[in-house]
């Protein structure tokens, strides 16, 4: 600004002040000015004007001091850390919040290099950030880790570092802009350590989920509430008979199902029941499901359906396992059991299974009723009491062999007589062995 222009502005301000004084003086009626009423040279009026000018200037100065004090309080106790750095990163001003963040008294921070507090790993990026701030003259941002005391150059002035937390560092977000003359920059800092830790924990959780998701041998699909498949793993592609995830398109799981499920219910209706039950109860649903591959092949599967929130949207995760082999094994076992039952129930020999730990009869063939003359229901209800029916002369020998079977796992192979309820006698040959 030129001297002439500045002089004109000062003159305008002076005239404005005098006009205000004249106005206030004209309104005064309290007689606060005790000056002679007659002054041919007009000095009385000038003195009055000067007195009012001084009063107004004093009021303006008090107001200015109050505003400055309020501004300093706002600056010092602002929730955000504020700091002023010169071109080489030396701290020129810092508020109390910033001093607490850096863990040092404010008076001792002035004149120190801010880079002292930046971790060694982030220092090159911070230096580049500072160069950009002074070069661009616009607001720039960066994130940096502030180091704990033992990671920085030794200084007896550093106070307790407990505020740096267990990791020994805090992460701050910095916004800075250079002053108009380019000699300083004003920066605001926010502690984002908790947010960064939460982000890191979320990232690790997502990585673990992704690893589990992609490497699982079970087929996994993610489904919306409306039943649309939004993602799947490679095992799911193989199970459904697809090459790429995009091949799902807008299809739903029921589009890979036959019209009816086991039990006769239509697939869409049964699927909606399981989905609603999972969402409403919040509990996993386990059920068997017939799945139809793109080749038309129908395979039995077992599905575990769970629900969770993902970005405020309810997502269903279906873990699908091909149980074809298990079903075939179950079928083989049932067929074997049926053949076994047909054999043992159509021979004149008694076959039974007994739990040696509690003596409970697990199975006994119908021939028992013919030979022992007692009902099978009685045997199941009362347990094995055949020793009571052994002929008296054979009891001791049979009892010894019976104890050896239970206590020493020795096979039981004895011929002995049994007494039926009608007192008739039957000879039996019994062979027992532990399995």
Residues 6+ positions from 413 with CB-CB distance below 8 Å: 401, 430, 431, 432
137 and 230 belong to one structural domain: no
Encoded tokens for 293: 């591959």
Beta bridge partners of 231: 222
Encoded tokens for 7: 């002089």
CA dist., res. 329 & res. 335, Å (int)? 10
Torsion, Cα 28 32 33 37, to 10 degrees, reads: 80
Give the CA radius of gyration of the chain. Answer: 47
27 vs 284, higher pLDDT? 284
Q: Domain for residue 236, yes or no?
A: yes
Q: Domain for residue 140, yes or no?
A: yes
pLDDT in tens, 304-328: 999 988 777 889 999 999 999 999 9
pLDDT in tens, 4-56: 554 555 555 556 655 665 566 555 545 454 444 445 555 565 656 566 666 66
Task: Supply the pTM of this predicted model.
Answer: 0.51
Domains: count for the chain: 4
What's the mean per-residue pLDDT of the chain? 81
CA dist., res. 289 & res. 124, Å (int)? 58
pLDDT at residue 210 in the model: 84
CA dist., res. 286 & res. 248, Å (int)? 24
15 and 57 belong to one structural domain: yes
pLDDT in tens, 102-150: 888 888 999 999 998 999 999 999 999 999 999 988 999 999 999 754 4
132 and 91 belong to one structural domain: yes
222 and 322 belong to one structural domain: yes
Q: Domain for residue 364, yes or no?
A: yes
Residues 6+ positions from 174 with CB-CB distance below 8 Å: 129, 141, 142, 143, 144, 187, 188, 189
254 and 303 belong to one structural domain: yes
29 and 104 belong to one structural domain: no
Task: Give the residue from 261, 294, 327 where a domain finishes.
Answer: 327
Q: Domain for residue 339, yes or no?
A: no
97 and 34 belong to one structural domain: no
Q: How many residues does the chain have?
A: 435
Q: Domain for residue 209, yes or no?
A: no
Longest dimension (CA), the chain: 162
pLDDT at residue 330 in the model: 92
Rounded average pLDDT over 191-201: 90
CATH number at residue 223: 3.30.450.20
Work out the number of other CB atoms within 10 angstroms of the CB of residue 83: 23
Q: Domain for residue 257, yes or no?
A: yes
47 vs 179, higher pLDDT? 179
pLDDT in tens, 51-62: 666 666 666 555
Domain that holds residue 361: 345-432
Which residue, 303, 310, 311, is CA-closest to 284?
Answer: 303
220 and 317 belong to one structural domain: yes
359 and 267 belong to one structural domain: no
235 and 259 belong to one structural domain: yes
pLDDT at residue 432 in the model: 86
Q: Domain for residue 133, yes or no?
A: yes
349 and 314 belong to one structural domain: no
Burial class (CB in 10 A: 0-12, 13-18, 19+), 109: buried
140 vs 367, higher pLDDT? 140
Q: Domain for residue 192, yes or no?
A: yes
87 and 64 belong to one structural domain: no
CA dist., res. 404 & res. 410, Å (int)? 5
């Amino acid at each position: 600004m030129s001297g002439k222009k500045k002089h004109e502005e000062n003159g305008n301000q002076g005239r404005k002040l005098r006009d205000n004084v004249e106005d206030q003086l004209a309104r005064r009626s309290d007689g606060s000015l005790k000056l002679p009423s007659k002054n041919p040279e007009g000095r009385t009026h000038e003195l009055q004007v000067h007195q009012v000018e001084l009063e107004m200037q004093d009021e303006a100065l008090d107001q200015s001091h109050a505003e400055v004090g309020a501004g300093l309080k706002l600056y010092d106790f602002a929730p955000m850390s504020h700091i002023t750095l010169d071109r080489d990163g030396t701290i020129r001003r810092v508020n109390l919040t910033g001093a607490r963040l850096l863990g040092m008294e404010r008076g001792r921070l002035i004149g120190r290099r801010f880079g002292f507090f930046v971790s060694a790993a982030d220092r090159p990026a911070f230096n580049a950030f500072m160069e950009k701030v002074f070069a661009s003259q616009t607001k720039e941002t960066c994130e940096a880790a502030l180091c704990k005391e033992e990671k920085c150059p030794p200084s007896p002035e550093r106070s307790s570092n407990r505020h740096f937390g267990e990791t020994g560092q805090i992460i701050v977000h910095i916004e800075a802009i250079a002053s108009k003359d380019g000699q300083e920059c004003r920066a605001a800092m926010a502690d984002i350590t908790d947010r960064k830790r939460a982000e890191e924990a979320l990232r690790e959780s997502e990585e673990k989920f992704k690893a589990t998701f992609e490497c699982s041998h079970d087929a996994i699909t993610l489904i919306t509430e409306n039943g649309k498949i939004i993602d799947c793993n490679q095992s799911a592609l193989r199970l459904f008979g697809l090459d790429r995830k995009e091949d799902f398109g807008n299809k739903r799981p029921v589009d890979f199902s036959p019209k009816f499920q086991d039990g006769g219910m239509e697939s869409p209706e049964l699927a909606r029941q399981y989905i609603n039950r999972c969402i409403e109860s919040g509990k996993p649903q386990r059920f068997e499901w017939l799945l139809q591959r793109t080749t038309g092949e129908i395979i039995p599967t077992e599905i575990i359906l769970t629900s969770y929130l993902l970005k405020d949207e309810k997502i269903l995760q279906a873990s699908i396992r091909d149980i074809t082999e298990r079903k075939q094994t179950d079928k083989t076992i049932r067929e074997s059991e049926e053949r076994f039952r047909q054999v043992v129930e159509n021979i004149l020999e008694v076959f039974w299974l007994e739990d040696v730990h509690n003596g409970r009869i697990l199975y006994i063939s119908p021939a028992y009723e013919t030979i022992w003359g007692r009902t099978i229901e009685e045997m199941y209800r009362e347990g094995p009491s055949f020793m009571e029916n052994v002929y008296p002369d054979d009891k001791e020998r049979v009892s010894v062999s019976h104890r050896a079977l239970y206590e020493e796992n020795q096979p039981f192979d004895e011929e002995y007589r049994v007494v039926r309820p009608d007192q008739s006698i039957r000879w039996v040959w019994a062979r027992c062995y532990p399995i």
